[in-house]
């Protein structure tokens, strides 16, 4: 079974600075998808960024980018020019590219709480 590990329970960053959140995963599959979700205090789960394992190019969405190292099974999230609204729990998630029975089940890490200091 696949597992996702987020080794940083909490992180903090100064407003306007850059922070990197770590995520590692364990899988024997070659085709899969990785996601970062953000959960602000409102508890809504918001998709931040998505990466296909077969793509070598790192995904980017505005101030959010990933460093995807397939051989190392690492998928870190970099937030540039941090804003107060970025404060949230961030979850890394894995989805098989060949989902059993056609399901698209997600496996989540335990999350990293990000605090943004003004």
Partner 1 sequence: DGGITQSPKYLFRKEGQNVTLSCEQNLNHDAMYWYRQDPGQGLRLIYYSQIVNDFQKGDIAEGYSVSREKKESFPLTVTSAQKNPTAFYLCASSGRTATGQPQHFGDGTRLSIL
Between 17 and 54, whose beta carbon lies closer to partner 1?
Answer: 54
Please report how close the Cβ of residue 42 comes to partner 1 at its closest, in angstroms. 7
Q: E strands, 1-118, where?
A: 3-5, 10-14, 19-21, 24-26, 32-39, 46-52, 60-61, 64-69, 74-79, 88-96, 107-108, 112-117
Minimum distance of partner 1 from residue 16's CB (angstroms)? 29
Residue 35 vs 75, nearer CB to partner 1: 35
Interaction site with partner 1 (CB under 8 A): 4, 9, 33, 35, 42-47, 50, 52, 91, 95, 97, 101-106, 108-111
- Residue 28 or 103 with smaller CB distance to partner 1: 103
Whether 39 and 101 have beta carbons less than 8 Å apart is answered as no
Cα 15 from Cα 118, distance rounded (Å): 5
Output 42 or 57, the one with its CB closest to partner 1. Answer: 42
Q: Determine the 3-state secondary structure of 105 from DSSP.
A: coil
Minimum distance, C-beta of residue 14 to partner 1, in the bound complex (Å): 26
Which helix or strand (DSSP H or E) is residue 111 part of?
none
**Cβ 85 to partner 1 shortest distance, Å:** 18
């Amino acid at each position: 079974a696949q597992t996702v590990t987020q080794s940083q329970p909490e992180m903090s960053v100064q407003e306007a600075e850059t922070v990197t959140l770590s995520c590692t995963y364990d899988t024997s599959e070659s085709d899969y998808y990785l996601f970062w979700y953000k959960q602000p205090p409102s508890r809504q789960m918001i998709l931040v960024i998505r990466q296909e394992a077969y793509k070598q190019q790192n995904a980017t969405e505005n101030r959010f980018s990933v460093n995807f190292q397939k051989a190392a099974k690492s998928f870190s999230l970099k937030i540039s020019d941090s804003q107060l609204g970025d404060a949230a729990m961030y979850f890394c998630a894995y989805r098989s590219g060949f989902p059993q029975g056609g399901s698209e089940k997600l496996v989540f890490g335990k999350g990293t709480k990000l605090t943004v200091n003004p």
